[in-house]
Structures are given as C-alpha cells and as structure tokens.
Chain A
C-alpha cells in the first residue's frame, strides 16, 4: 500500500514536512561510520534543505521551507539525501509492489491496490475540518484542524511476531504518509501520550546492595552505548534484555529468565521471585520443558534454581514449584491504582486514571502484594521509604500512593490533588484523595480543551499542558520518526563501523545488519526461517477470550461456565479436506513437540491458520478445581508447541531481534486427525498435590449479597385474570 500511494504521490506532503523527520537530511557514505546518520547543524540539530534560502538549515527552525525530496552535496563534499528520498528509493522497489506483496500475505494484488486507493480517497477527498483556534509548536496560530478519518487498530498481536517491531513501524509509516496521526478521525494518542521519541529514559545499568537504581529498570536505548552489557559484551541482566540479542528490549524478557538461570547463561541465580506470572504453566513458552527446568538439579543434587518465591492469590501451577508462597489478595480485596505514571485508562480527549478499593473484607490472614512491598521497603529502610529521621515514611500502600511525589506536585493519582483536593494533575498531596476517588466511582477524568485535542505532537497548547502535568519533559515538537537513526546506529555496529561498542559474535552482527533497518520492512519471522515450512504448513496463534481478559490470575465459577475447555479452531473446508471431524480430536505438531486437541470448524479463519483460547487448560488439581475438571482433560495449552529459543540457534531467544518481544505468534504446525481411540487432551501431567488444609470444593453455590425480595402476584389476580387476549 505504501508502494501504491508513493507511486501515485498520494501522500500528505504538508504533514510529512511539518510533523515528521521525512525532510531531514541523511548522510550517504556507505562504508563509513556516519553512513545513514542524520546530518546535523553546528548546534547539533537535524538539518534540512531550505528551499527559500537554498541552503542547509535547522529542522527545528520554523522559518524554513524544507525540501521533502532531494539529494545534495555538503560543502565538505558529503552526499546527503532527505529521509523521504530514501523512502521513495526503498519502496519503489518492485519487491514492494502489490503483485509481490500478494505472494507474501495472501491478499490479492488488486485488493491491496484498492485498499490503498480507498484510504487515499477518505484521507484526501473526504477529509473533515474542525474549526478551532490553536497554536502550533512554533507559536503560529491556526483556525482549524484538518481530519483525515483513516484509522487502524492493532494491539499486541503484531508485536508477538519476531518481525513485529518493523511491522508496527510500517503501519505508522502508512499512517504518516496519509497524514492521519493525531488528527480528527485518525490514530489518536491517549494522555499521557504522545511522548518524545525516544523517551528520555535509559534502563538502569548497575544495581548494588543498599543502593537505589539510578533509573527505572526498563528504558529506551538510543545507541549501543546504552546496552546493558559488561566489558566482554555479555548481558548484565538475567533475561539478557538490552544485550546484543535484543538491544531495545523495553518490556524486559521475562520469558527467558528460567531458561537462562537454569543454563547459567549469563549466570546462575539463587532466588527467583515471581508475581502475577504463572511461569510453570501458561505464562511460559515450552511449558512441559519449563517444568522440567524448574526441577533440574546440578551435580551436587541442588536445584539449579535453588529458591523460588511466588506471590499468588490462587493455587496456580507455579505455586507448586515454590519454596515460599506469599499469599496475595484478590483484586476485590485491595487498593490499587491505574496510574498516569504507568498505563492509565485515558480517552483520546480526556486524561483519566483510576483506583480500586476493597469491596470485600479478607476472610483469611493475607495482605495484598502492594502492602507487602511497602512494608518491605520500610523494614529494609530503602532510602525512599524512610524519612529524614530514619523513621518509616509510609504507613501503608494508601499512604504511599497519596504522599509519594515523582516530582513536586506529581504523584500516582492525578485527580483531587492539593491540600483541599481542588487541584488536578499537579498539586500537593491530598490526605483525602482516596475518598475523593471513591466518591467519584473510582475514576478521575479531565477533559482536554478543544484546542488541545489534535496534532498534540506539535500543539503548543497541549505540549505546555502536558509538560505541566509531567507527561513530557519539554514543549519541543515531538517529531514523528519515519527514519530511525537509533536503528541505524545499531546497524553500523553490526557492520563493524560504529565508533563504540560492537557485537561479539558473527551471529549478533548478522542480526543487527539484517533487521536494524532504519526504514520498516518485512522479513520472514526468525523461527519460520529456520524450519521446513512444508513440514509445518499451518500458522497457529492463540488469544485470551474477552470474557476472561482480566482473569489470567484468577478462577471464577461463572466465567468457567462460559469456557471450561478450549478448541482448536480450523477452517471448515480445510479440516474436511484433511479428514478431521467437527469436534474430532487431532494431533498438532510443531518443531518443539505435539499436543492432542479437539478441533472445531470455523468459517471466519484463514485456511492456513488455526487458533485457540489460551490459558484455559489447567493442570489437574490446580486452581482449586476438582481433579476431573474439564480444563485438565479437554482443555489444552498451545504453549507446549512454542519454543523460547530458535530451532537452529538454541542459544538465541525466539523473540523480536530488536525489542526482545516474545514471538508467541510465529508458531507453525501440522495437523492430522487422531485415531478413534485417542480421546482427550494430551499431554496430561501429574495431578497437583492438595495443599495442607485445602478445603474441598462445593457441589453447588448460590451467591447473593442478601436474600431476594420476591416479586409478588396477588391471588386475586391469579384467579381472575383471563387469557392473554
């Protein structure tokens, strides 16, 4: 679609010039350390070619008219091209033509062309106009916003592929070309977003006893210098995040921790603490093998992971592997914040955050994990948790949430701040803040003014508002990065041209060169590159059902009536061709193992794809379910088929090579009907041991907060009312 739009020049050139780095000049010097880096002015600002002065100028100068496409020679003899010129060069290649893309994605070439032209039609011929006065980043007044109502929705599915990061970038490129980012009808950010690119947070490098981390554990590296590697180039973190294997692993790589620890690669650990992650079951790839790893012992008969601590409100499969179990409350029994400092519940045109408060009293000796952390912080006398006199600073979680300030006036909760609770976003701690939230049904909403609602990356009114609220660090324009200099710096490192850290191994270097393209591109997912696709012809994916989306870590008598076992959904015609019956049992096999599942026919699934609900299958006896529960004998996990490492590079994670995001969705499988006597899901595991003093489950429950007030029909009415008609 990018190819189609560029070929016809159906792009929003004003948007590209004003809001993206498309006009910025990129140095063209193949084989040199500065190839692909952005040409900068003496002040270090990105340079553009100004068509008025016919000279180089700063991209930050509002008084220039940059050339969108062009190639120039600098006075010192270097060749530079605009990023847009590189974009045109790259995507004009016939490999991006619809005819060739069709082969990759299975969508007919004429449909690809049609989609692109329909989007162009909507964006450019059916645009909307909202008359509102607003001021741009440079202080210039405007009297309207133009809306290009083309919008795309992608959640976590795309990033669960090992080519996910570049695919997401490709989607955003398409949006930027159509000028449909943060405009009316377009892709709208939700406060506290948008943020500057990249956010100015680097991952914490060092940790030491009695010393707070110098920054958050997760952040955004911009060059090889930011990697968390030692002098030998080996990972500092147990999950190998921010190493050469996954340089921009901004979510961490939880899925690798157990494997890395058991293999002592990069090192072994003595204690593993797990919270809200069922790592012995549905939160791990390769579940059966992970369970074995948790049991693995060294030559001295010691467990390779000697001590496991888990915190759980339920008897999950992981609890069974734990040396210490910290009982947690359910979310109905605790205080919680859904904070603007993390991922709040904002709407595009309103900043929102929320709390939870207990609606049930705990009926057992238990504290919420939040309370335990605050308690531990105080007892360990962590600097943040003690006051000037060395005493406890925070009494409990509620106290911490109210009084902790990230910077003066800014804390976890944005609503009802100030001593009197009359300030929002910024204000002194309010001792009655929790009560204010509870009075307002547990959430806070602050609507943005009309002039702050669109083009917020370049909207002075919004940026000033956001800076005041602590959402962004400056009011500088947030320039959309179509061309990523960060990725190019890693690619230079892979080519051995970078003036700084370079990778240790050929494998690492090859990945950097191949995948760290500063412009988005498609490549076949890593796992699929390393196996015979004819042997495993089906794509296999899984997702959480809507009705259980927020119950990964709980078990619910009502929800399990809706889904107590899962099926493998398969295209009806395809299944019939393979001789698999509707609701028949079938073997599904990947390079990593095989499972037996029940197949359900479906019309709406692509013929070479199968899918299922995840985390429905449970180990027999876990979660307080009876040992014959459907979850354990009909339900199944697809996790067994997914490997956490690549088929031919066992030491490398099965993840996006840039972000380290687990490649859950790269799985390919084959399927065949099971024999008539092969019934029930497989593998089955030993029953989980019953916990000491575990209560047996009831045969029947009737939940009610109070006895019902019956609807009464009078006897007179019963005896005298005629037929209905």
Chain B
C-alpha cells in the first residue's frame, strides 16, 4: 500500500479548515501535543502539521490566485528518514506512512533540513520533531465508522479538495483522479518521489455565445407579438 493525499488546487478556497482540524485532532493524538508559543502575545507561533500558503500565478489581468495546502507528502525517497541518526523517523513498509517515534527523537532538526517541503516542525516545548501521520490513529481505528477512517483534514474539507487513498491501487479513487487530471509532483527534480499529488487548476470552460439568427428587435413594443402562454 502507498497511502497518501490527492490535493485539488482547482477547488481549494484557502479556508485553513484542514490546518485547524489537523491541529485539533493531532494535538491530542499520537504526535501531540502541538505546542504554541506566545499564544496571546507578540508574534504567536506554534507547531502545525499542515499549512496553507497562497500564490499568485501569472500577471494581472491573466492571474490566478492559488491556495496551496501542504503537509507531509510521504515520499518514496524520504531523505528525512535516511538522515535521522536515532531511528526515530521511519517509513512504514506496509503503507508508506512516514512517522516519528517521539520517544526516540533527540530534536537535532536534521530531518527537517532534509525535507524540501517544510513538512516537519520542531515543537520547542516538547523538544521533538512533529509531522503529519496521515492520521494513522484514525485511518485504522476499528472503533470509528468506516467513512470516518480518514485523515481529519480530508474529513473537514468543505470543498472536498483533499482525497485520501492508496496510490498503489490503480483502481483507487486517488489513482484514477490523479491519472485523469494529471496529478503533479512538487519539486520533481529533487527525486523524492512524493506520494501526495497535486491536481492543477482546470482550464476555464469555454462557453459558446448564443448564435443570433434573428434580427428581431425586442424593444419595439409595436411589433411585439405575444405568444399564447397559459398561466
């Protein structure tokens, strides 16, 4: 299995719902708590596993605003795991999820350095590295109804811009959608082979104009002929 997310850049509206849902679930989950410093003071900052940035593509007037959610992409070639000296970071063989065993992390930051996507954040209060677990504590939880065995960010997304699934299965929804719409890798030149794929914005639909075949002038009250239409 190769579990990951398919993120639709066409429909994401940048509401930060996925980021806050992630923080809410995970602050009490396997990777929690996610600490915040200066929560009510100057320059508040904290550990988040999912962040949304916004870009402008192209110059006005041919410009598009694109909201860009990013969490761990669970790479095939996860250098964050390679560089980890303690073995706290690992990639699971069974489903490809990249995880951190917090009890073994020494907080050296090297994995964050090795990650091109900014997916890992050091929790200053806890002294250990935090990252997206794909909500491993939800997706396998037999106590949850089956439709809820999905990452918190996916469940909460109001525009369904996030899909969760197995990219190893060519018939899974994520695989099919990614094929149909040309799912893309971020920074493919670095060779990390991220599992998460990003769907590009769709081309603007072309709408035909009504073909005008009559020269009728609707404004001429005198020549207007009423149709027989029953109330």
Cβ-defined contact, A710 with B226, below 8 A: no
From residue 672 to 704 of chain A, which have CB atoms closer than 8 A to chain B?
A: 697-704
Cβ-defined contact, A603 with B60, below 8 A: yes
Name the contact of A703 in the complex, choosing from B33, B82, B104, B214 (C-beta under 8 A).
Answer: B33
Contacting residues, chain B, for A71 (C-beta < 8 A):
221
Nearest chain A CB to B195 CB, angstrom units = 13
Cβ-defined contact, B224 with A121, below 8 A: no
Cβ-defined contact, A17 with B231, below 8 A: yes
Nearest chain A CB to B135 CB, angstrom units = 12
Task: Give the distance in Å from the alpha carbon of A607 to the alpha carbon of B224 in the complex.
Answer: 43
Asked whether A573 is an interface residue with its Cβ less than 8 Å from the other chain, the reply is yes
Q: Known contacts A711-B136, A724-B81; is A120 also within 8 Å of B56 by CB?
A: no
Task: Give the distance in Å from the alpha carbon of A583 to the alpha carbon of B20 in the complex.
Answer: 27
Name the contact of A51 in the complex, choosing from B30, B64, B226 (C-beta under 8 A).
Answer: B226
Cβ-defined contact, A546 with B39, below 8 A: no
From residue 61 to 90 of chain B, which have CB atoms closer than 8 A to chain A?
A: 63-65, 77-78, 81-82, 86-88, 90
Asked whether B180 is an interface residue with its Cβ less than 8 Å from the other chain, the reply is no
Asked whether B147 is an interface residue with its Cβ less than 8 Å from the other chain, the reply is no
From residue 531 to 560 of chain A, which have CB atoms closer than 8 A to chain B?
A: 546-547, 555, 557-560
Number of interface residues of B (CB under 8 A): 76
Asked whether B126 is an interface residue with its Cβ less than 8 Å from the other chain, the reply is yes
Interface segment among A203-211, A331-339, A621-629: the answer is A621-629
Binary per-residue interface labels of chain B (35-52) against chain A in the complex, 1 for a CB within 8 Å, 0 otherwise:
111111111111010000
Nearest chain B CB to A578 CB, angstrom units = 16
Cβ-defined contact, A709 with B30, below 8 A: yes
Contacting residues, chain B, for A7 (C-beta < 8 A):
217-219
Asked whether B94 is an interface residue with its Cβ less than 8 Å from the other chain, the reply is no
Contacting residues, chain A, for B23 (C-beta < 8 A):
558
Binary per-residue interface labels of chain B (209-231) against chain A in the complex, 1 for a CB within 8 Å, 0 otherwise:
11110101111010010111111
Interface segment among A61-69, A192-200, A299-307: the answer is A61-69
Task: Give the distance in Å from the alpha carbon of A65 to the alpha carbon of B126 in the complex.
Answer: 78
Cβ-defined contact, A724 with B42, below 8 A: no
Interface segment among B1-9, B10-18, B110-118, B160-168: the answer is B10-18
Name the contact of B210 in the complex, choosing from A63, A124, A624 (C-beta under 8 A).
Answer: A124
Cβ-defined contact, B16 with A562, below 8 A: yes
Nearest chain A CB to B3 CB, angstrom units = 15
Task: Give the distance in Å from the alpha carbon of A44 to the alpha carbon of B162 in the complex.
Answer: 57
Q: Chain A at the B interface: mostly helix, strand, loop or mixed?
A: loop
Asked whether B99 is an interface residue with its Cβ less than 8 Å from the other chain, the reply is yes
From residue 93 to 147 of chain B, which have CB atoms closer than 8 A to chain A?
A: 99-104, 124-126, 133, 136-137
Asked whether A439 is an interface residue with its Cβ less than 8 Å from the other chain, the reply is no
Asked whether A114 is an interface residue with its Cβ less than 8 Å from the other chain, the reply is yes
Cβ-defined contact, B209 with A118, below 8 A: yes
Task: Give the distance in Å from the alpha carbon of A628 to the alpha carbon of B44 in the complex.
Answer: 11
Task: Give the distance in Å from the alpha carbon of A546 to the alpha carbon of B14 in the complex.
Answer: 8
Asked whether A571 is an interface residue with its Cβ less than 8 Å from the other chain, the reply is yes
Cβ-defined contact, B60 with A572, below 8 A: yes
Nearest chain B CB to A101 CB, angstrom units = 16
Asked whether A407 is an interface residue with its Cβ less than 8 Å from the other chain, the reply is no
Cβ-defined contact, A603 with B58, below 8 A: yes
Contacting residues, chain B, for A699 (C-beta < 8 A):
37-38, 41
Interface residues on A, range: 35 or more
Task: Give the distance in Å from the alpha carbon of A48 to the alpha carbon of B231 in the complex.
Answer: 10
Asked whether A650 is an interface residue with its Cβ less than 8 Å from the other chain, the reply is no
Interface segment among A84-92, A364-372, A428-436: the answer is A84-92
Contacting residues, chain A, for B30 (C-beta < 8 A):
708-711
Task: Give the distance in Å from the alpha carbon of A635 to the alpha carbon of B229 in the complex.
Answer: 60
From residue 101 to 133 of chain A, which have CB atoms closer than 8 A to chain B?
A: 114, 117-118, 120-122, 124-125
Binary per-residue interface labels of chain B (189-219) against chain A in the complex, 1 for a CB within 8 Å, 0 otherwise:
0000000000000000001111110101111
Cβ-defined contact, B231 with A700, below 8 A: no
Asked whether A723 is an interface residue with its Cβ less than 8 Å from the other chain, the reply is yes
Name the contact of B226 in the complex, choosing from A69, A572, A626, A713 (C-beta under 8 A).
Answer: A69
Cβ-defined contact, B33 with A702, below 8 A: yes
Q: Known contacts A118-B208, A625-B40, A708-B32; is A67 also within 8 Å of B226 by CB?
A: yes
Cβ-defined contact, A603 with B63, below 8 A: yes
Binary per-residue interface labels of chain A (117-160) against chain B in the complex, 1 for a CB within 8 Å, 0 otherwise:
11011101100000000000010000000000000000000000
Task: Give the distance in Å from the alpha carbon of A701 to the alpha carbon of B64 in the complex.
Answer: 37
Contacting residues, chain A, for B228 (C-beta < 8 A):
51-52, 65
Q: Known contacts A557-B36, A702-B33, A709-B30; is A724 also within 8 Å of B82 by CB?
A: yes
Cβ-defined contact, A712 with B101, below 8 A: yes
Task: Give the distance in Å from the alpha carbon of A143 to the alpha carbon of B202 in the complex.
Answer: 36
Task: Give the distance in Å from the alpha carbon of A117 to the alpha carbon of B209 in the complex.
Answer: 5
Cβ-defined contact, A710 with B101, below 8 A: yes
Asked whether B183 is an interface residue with its Cβ less than 8 Å from the other chain, the reply is no
Contacting residues, chain A, for B126 (C-beta < 8 A):
702
Cβ-defined contact, A724 with B43, below 8 A: no
Task: Please indicate which of the listed interface residues B35, B86, B217, B230 has the most CB atoms of chain A within 10 Å of its own CB.
Answer: B230
Task: Give the distance in Å from the alpha carbon of A62 to the alpha carbon of B231 in the complex.
Answer: 5
Asked whether B171 is an interface residue with its Cβ less than 8 Å from the other chain, the reply is no
Name the contact of A70 in the complex, choosing from B100, B214, B226 (C-beta under 8 A).
Answer: B226
Task: Give the distance in Å from the alpha carbon of A706 to the alpha carbon of B33 in the complex.
Answer: 9
A-B contact pairs, 14 of them (CB 8 A): A9-B214, A48-B231, A65-B229, A68-B227, A70-B226, A88-B224, A118-B209, A561-B48, A603-B58, A628-B41, A629-B40, A703-B27, A711-B31, A712-B101
Known: A62-B230, A604-B56, A702-B35. 4 other contacts (CB 8 A): A138-B231, A700-B35, A711-B100, A721-B90
Which B residues lie at the A interface, using CB under 8 A?
A: 13-17, 19-20, 23, 27-46, 48, 56, 58-60, 63-65, 77-78, 81-82, 86-88, 90-91, 99-104, 124-126, 133, 136-137, 207-212, 214, 216-219, 221, 224, 226-231
Which A residues lie at the B interface, using CB under 8 A?
A: 6-11, 13-14, 17-18, 48, 51-52, 59, 61-71, 85, 88-89, 92, 114, 117-118, 120-122, 124-125, 138, 546-547, 555, 557-562, 564, 571-573, 602-604, 607, 624-626, 628-630, 697-706, 708-713, 715, 717-719, 721, 723-725
